Structure formats: structure tokens, C-alpha cells
């Protein structure tokens, strides 16, 4: 079965202003690179056109007021004039409402393609991103929470019992975490740059969930400079055992490629092949727990060429092929490794009432 690539040119119609890092160029370049690597001529990949989400599907996560306020702001934004949502860091341009609805629909389209057996797994290349969006407000360039909508769609509309979301963007997915913080049917794991040094300033190791959700929210705040070796250690020692005990019946990935060492927003030091290996680890869990049922959705990634290379490496990994873009490996160094060995200890300490290590 091929790997699905969900994309639509309409994703370019959402604009947040001149030189904004969350630009249409991110997807223009990524798709040009996918074409020049001939992925679309390869029967191992299948391009799928997304449908928009319905208002009822948006309401699986969002309040009617939030949806209406985005629509209203969007109507006010015309002729190149931008309007700003909520905290003021997310703009809409006149097409943004429709594009955001199509981004949420891109995730649902990907899920449906996997459920129908058209594709083995899929990567939805959408914008705007979603993981900083809350039920009642936008933030951090995110309008609707695409990953959370997919998880709720699987649970409420398709009868799934346990959905795991991994979030490997540079930033903590505070919106997604908040939405499922008190629930044990959605396991949320995020690795991100330490909140004391990076937006959104939350996502500490002690934030493990509340009530029934205790133990089902897992944060790995990484110190600036941390590279793929640190990620691999946390994955093997904490994440793999927890995910395998949770036994998800579907896996979702919020994939942002802004933790790359050259990304303008990044203090971390991931490589393009590091992204491929990271996703490969989750793919193996999905194969073990849920017949490989996994959908990835794009979050950040602001150095466009690197975003394209990372996305292609990830797509190749999903198809079981060799990664074409391999950079020089980065060694985090002894002191950072020690710091993160200590972080692993703390994570296990907080999580051991709920999981076996
Ligand atoms: Zn990000």
C-alpha cells in the first residue's frame, strides 16, 4: 500500500504578512522538492486532495464562538489588509478561514484514507499549523487544532478507544495538551525546547495531566543544544515503553521540523535524518500496536529547504525506503547527555505510578 501525501494549492492562500516565517513558501518549496525527488511518480506514494472539515467536525474540539470569531475576522480582512486573532500573534487575510477549515479537513482526509485502506499511513502537508490552538482561542500561528480534531474524530465518530499523539515540533503543543489534559483515552507526548527558553513557556516535566488524565500527558523539555542522540535516549527509555503499554489503536504525529539546528526559531540541534529516525521509532510502535495505522500532520518548520528535506526523509521512512538527505551527525556532548539522563530519571519518577519501566 502506498503512503498518502495530503496537499492542496489552496493551503498557499493563507497569508500572515510580508516576511512572516509561517509563509506559503514553506509548502511551495516542500512540494517542489517532493516533485524533483520524483515521489509523485513513485507508486509507493499517493497524492490525495483534501476535503474541508465540516463545522460539526470543528466543534469536536472548538467552541462555536471561536469558529464564528475567526470567520468574522476573516470577513473583515480584505484587499491585503490583515486582521489579528486573540493574542495578536496569528493573523487572517480574507481566505484564512477557508484554508484553516481545509487544514483541519486535510487531517480528517488522511485518517479516512488510512481507515479505508487506500494508504498504509499518511502525512498531511497543511497550513496553518494547529498545535497551539485551544478550544476557544487561536495562538502561535495556529487557528484550529488539526491534530486534536483528528483524535476526536477517531474517538467520537469512528469508535476508537485509545489514540496516541506524539508532537516533535520545536515548541510545546500547549493547545493539544490542554484539550486532553484530563483524559486517559488520548495519550499526548511532546518533546520541545525547554519552556524557560522558548515559546510558549509551558510544558514542564511535572505536567503529567490531571484527574483521570494523570500519567497521560508527557513532556520532555530539552535543553538548548540537544540533538538526535538525546531524543533517541528519551525515546528508548521512556516513550517506547509507555506507548507500548498504552497500546494505541491509532497514532497521530504533530510533526514540526523547526527543531533543526539551522531553523531561525530553534535552539535545538536536530538533523534532517534525525527527524526520519525519530518518526521511524513511532512507526515501529504503530506497527506493533495498531497495524501501522498512523497519520502525521505538519506543524512548524521555518527554514524552507530544511523543512522540505526533513519532510521527504520522513515520507521515505514511512515507505520503508532509505533517507535521501543525510547531514553530518551532531553529538550533544557529555554535559548535555548527563543533563538529559537526569531528565529521563525525572520523567520516570513522575510517570512511574502509571507506567512500568
Ligand atoms: Zn513550532
245-266 pLDDT per residue, tens = 999 999 999 999 999 999 999 9
Predicted confidence (pLDDT) at residue 9 exceeds the cutoff of 90: yes
Q: Which among 5, 30, 11 is positioned nearest to 304, based on CA atoms?
A: 30
313-338 pLDDT per residue, tens = 999 999 999 999 999 999 999 999 99
Q: Give pLDDT, residue 339.
A: 98
Residues near ion ligand 1 (Cβ under 5 Å): 169-171, 256, 258, 300
61-107 pLDDT per residue, tens = 999 999 999 999 888 887 778 888 887 889 888 899 999 999 999 99
Ligand 1 mean position, distance from CA 300 (Å): 4
Q: Which among 67, 91, 95 is positioned nearest to 79, based on CA atoms?
A: 95
Judge if the upstream peptide bond of residue 200 is cis by omega within 30 degrees of 0: yes
- 17 confidence band (pLDDT: 50, 70, 90): confident
Other Cβ atoms within 10 Å of 344 Cβ, number: 18
Ligand 1 mean position, distance from CA 200 (Å): 10
Length of the chain: 357
Domain harbouring 254, CATH code: 3.40.800.20
Residue 99 falls within a domain, yes or no? yes
Ligand 1 mean position, distance from CA 219 (Å): 15
Residue 335 falls within a domain, yes or no? yes
Q: In the chain, which residue ranges form alpha helices assigned H by DSSP?
A: 25-36, 55-58, 64-76, 96-116, 146-152, 174-179, 228-234, 240-246, 272-290, 304-318, 334-351
Beta bridge partners of 222: 193
Q: Give pLDDT, residue 163.
A: 98
The answer to whether residue 132 is catalytic is yes
Do the beta carbons of residue 188 and residue 177 sit within 8 Å? yes
Categorise residue 215: left if φ over 0, alpha if ψ from -120 to 50, beta otherwise: left
Do the beta carbons of residue 320 and residue 287 sit within 8 Å? no
Distance CA 313, CA 225 (A): 22
Distance CA 189, CA 242 (A): 10
Q: Give pLDDT, residue 14.
A: 93
Residue 357 falls within a domain, yes or no? no
Ligand 1 mean position, distance from CA 172 (Å): 8
Kindly state the cell numbers that stand for 174.
500547549
Distance CA 308, CA 296 (A): 15
Instruction: Find the angle CA(171)-CA(173)-CA(175) to the nearest 5 degrees.
Output: 140
Ligand 1 mean position, distance from CA 8 (Å): 21
Residue 105 falls within a domain, yes or no? yes
Residue 180 falls within a domain, yes or no? yes
Distance CA 277, CA 131 (A): 22
Residue 356 falls within a domain, yes or no? no
The b-or-e profile of 277-301 (16+ CB within 10 A means b, else e) is bbbbbbbebbeebbebbbbbbbbbb
Ligand 1 mean position, distance from CA 1 (Å): 31
Ligand 1 mean position, distance from CA 41 (Å): 31
Ligand 1 mean position, distance from CA 117 (Å): 31
212-231 pLDDT per residue, tens = 999 999 999 999 999 999 99
Residue 145 falls within a domain, yes or no? yes
Q: Give pLDDT, residue 262.
A: 97
Q: Give pLDDT, residue 350.
A: 98
Ligand 1 mean position, distance from CA 353 (Å): 31
**pLDDT more than 90, % of the chain:** 92
Q: What is the mean pLDDT of residues 176-203?
A: 98
Instruction: Tell the burial category of 133 from Cβ atoms under 10 Å away from its Cβ (0-12, 13-18, 19+).
Output: buried
Domain count along the chain: 1
Q: Which among 136, 217, 210, 227 is positioned nearest to 173, based on CA atoms?
A: 217
Q: Which domain holds residue 273?
A: 3-351
183-192 pLDDT per residue, tens = 999 999 999 9
Q: Which among 210, 218, 184 is positioned nearest to 348, based on CA atoms?
A: 218
109-137 pLDDT per residue, tens = 999 999 999 999 999 999 999 999 999 99
| Residue among 132, 171, 192, 340 flagged as catalytic | 132
What is the average pLDDT value for the chain, to the nearest integer?
Answer: 96
Do the beta carbons of residue 71 and residue 92 sit within 8 Å? no
Distance CA 8, CA 123 (A): 13
Residue 287 falls within a domain, yes or no? yes
Amino acid at each position: 500500500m502506498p503512503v498518502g501525501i495530503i496537499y492542496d494549492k489552496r493551503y498557499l492562500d493563507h497569508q500572515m504578512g510580508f516576511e512572516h516565517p509561517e509563509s506559503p513558501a514553506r509548502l511551495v518549496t516542500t512540494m517542489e522538492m517532493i516533485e524533483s525527488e520524483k515521489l509523485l511518480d513513485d507508486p509507493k506514494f499517493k497524492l490525495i486532495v483534501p476535503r474541508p472539515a465540516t463545522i460539526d467536525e470543528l466543534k469536536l474540539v472548538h467552541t462555536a464562538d471561536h469558529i464564528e470569531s475567526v470567520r468574522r475576522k476573516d470577513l473583515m480582512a480584505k484587499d491585503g489588509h490583515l486582521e489579528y486573532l486573540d493574542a495578536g500573534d496569528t493573523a487572517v487575510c480574507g481566505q484564512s478561514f477557508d484554508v484553516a477549515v481545509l487544514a483541519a479537513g486535510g487531517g480528517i482526509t488522511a485518517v479516512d484514507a488510512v481507515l479505508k485502506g487506500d494508504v498504509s499511513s499518511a502525512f498531511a502537508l497543511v497550513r496553518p499549523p494547529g498545535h497551539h490552538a485551544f478550544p476557544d482561542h487561536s495562538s502561535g500561528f495556529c487557528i484550529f487544532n488539526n491534530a486534536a480534531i483528528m483524535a476526536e474524530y477517531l474517538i467520537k465518530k469512528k469508535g476508537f478507544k485509545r489514540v496516541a499523539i506524539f508532537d516533535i515540533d520545536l515548541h510545546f503543543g500547549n493547545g493539544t495538551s490542554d484539550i486532553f489534559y484530563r483524559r486517559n483515552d488520548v495519550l499526548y507526548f511532546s518533546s520541545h525546547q525547554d519552556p524557560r527558553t522558548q515559546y510558549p513557556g509551558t510544558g514542564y516535566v511535572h505536567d503529567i495531566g490531571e484527574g483521570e488524565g494523570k500519567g497521560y500527558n508527557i513532556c520532555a523539555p530539552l535543553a538548548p543544544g540537544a540533538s538526535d542522540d538525546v531524543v533517541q535516549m528519551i525515546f528508548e527509555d521512556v516513550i517506547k515503553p509507555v506507548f507500548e503499554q498504552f497500546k494505541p489503536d491509532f497514532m497521530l504525529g504533530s510533526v514540526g521540523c523547526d527543531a533543526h539546528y539551522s531553523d531561525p526559531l530553534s535552539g535545538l540541534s536536530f538533523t534532517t535524518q534525525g527527524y526520519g529516525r525519530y518518526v521511524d521509532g513511532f512507526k515501529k510502535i504503530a506497527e506493533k500496536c495498531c497495524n501501522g495505522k498512523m497519520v502525521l500532520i505538519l506543524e512548524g518548520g521555518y527554514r524552507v529547504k530544511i523543512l522540505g528535506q526533513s519532510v521527504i526523509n520522513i515520507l521515505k521512512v514511512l515507505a520503508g525506503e532509505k533517507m535521501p538527505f543525510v547531514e553530518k551527525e551532531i553529538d550533544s556532548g557529555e554535559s548535555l547527555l548527563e543533563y538529559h539522563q537526569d531528565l529521563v530519571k525525572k520523567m520516570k519518577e513522575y510517570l512511574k505510578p502509571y507506567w512500568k519501566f
